[in-house]
Amino acid sequence: MVYQYVVTLKNTSRKFIDTFSLLLLVITALLLFREQYFSPNIKIAYLFGAIAIIAVIGWNIYQQKKNKQTVYYSSALFIAAIGWVTMPYLSWLFIPFALMGLFERQAKMPLEVGFTDSVIVINTLIRRRYKWGDFNNIILKDNLLTLDFKTNRLLQRETIDEEGDAQEDEFNDYCKRQLLAVSC
């Protein structure tokens, strides 16, 4: 689908996702070390899993400090999922860890809103499509996108794009034309 306009919104949940992932990974590494220590049978898998998780966490923190880039803990989450499969208790926890590893990259991506003449598409994990008739008003001003739904719902998020006022005015005129065309 070709969009006339695409507005990229800031992802405000990145820090929360990183903190939550780190917390779960540290707890998993500690439990793997604990199981290695208290297990009647010496199991190298617990030790390897805990060391691998800590190594991936350390590497990601090093990359974040060095390159100021977004880090992904999906590989550590997959290692933790494998570690939970081998645990004698709560082995079902491999399912949420594997799912978190699968969806982490998608959850950290910036949200995009695409505008065409017929629909507005919000690109989340499951794409949401809205018709122009579903909105009272749509405004982009000072890097803040406001979507005013007819259902008394308001979506207001800060944008990433550093565009000038001329492009904001052009976008707002486009939205006004589309909304007027639908209301007539």
Cα–Cα distance list, 75 to 30, 60, 99 (Å): 18, 10, 12
Q: Whole-model pTM?
A: 0.72
- Alpha carbons 91 and 84: distance in angstroms, whole number: 5
pLDDT (0 to 100) of residue 129: 92
pLDDT tens per residue across span 69-118: 778 888 888 888 888 888 778 888 899 999 999 998 888 888 889 999 99
Query: Which of 83, 78, 79 lies closest to 32, judged by CA?
Result: 83
Tell me: pLDDT of 51 over 60. Answer: yes
Tell me: pLDDT of 42 over 70. Answer: no
Element (H, E) at 123: strand 119-123
Angle at which helices 94-108 and 74-86 cross, to 10°: 170
Q: Which CATH architecture best describes the domain 110-183?
A: Roll (2.30)
pLDDT (0 to 100) of residue 139: 92
- Alpha carbons 180 and 176: distance in angstroms, whole number: 6
pLDDT (0 to 100) of residue 166: 52
pLDDT (0 to 100) of residue 91: 82
- Alpha carbons 21 and 13: distance in angstroms, whole number: 12
pLDDT (0 to 100) of residue 38: 76
pLDDT (0 to 100) of residue 107: 85
CB 46 within 8 A of CB 28: no
Tell me: pLDDT of 58 over 90. Answer: no
Question: Mean pLDDT across the chain, nearest whole number?
Answer: 85
Q: Name the token pair of 98.
A: 């594997």
Query: Which of 82, 3, 95, 71 lies closest to 46, judged by CA?
Result: 82
Longest dimension (CA), the chain: 76
In our burial notation (b when 16+ CB lie closer than 10 A, e otherwise), range 110-129 reads: ebbbbbeeeebbbbeeeeee
- Alpha carbons 157 and 140: distance in angstroms, whole number: 10
Residue 45: CB partners within 8 Å, gap ≥ 6?
A: 83, 86
Mean pLDDT of 38-44: 72
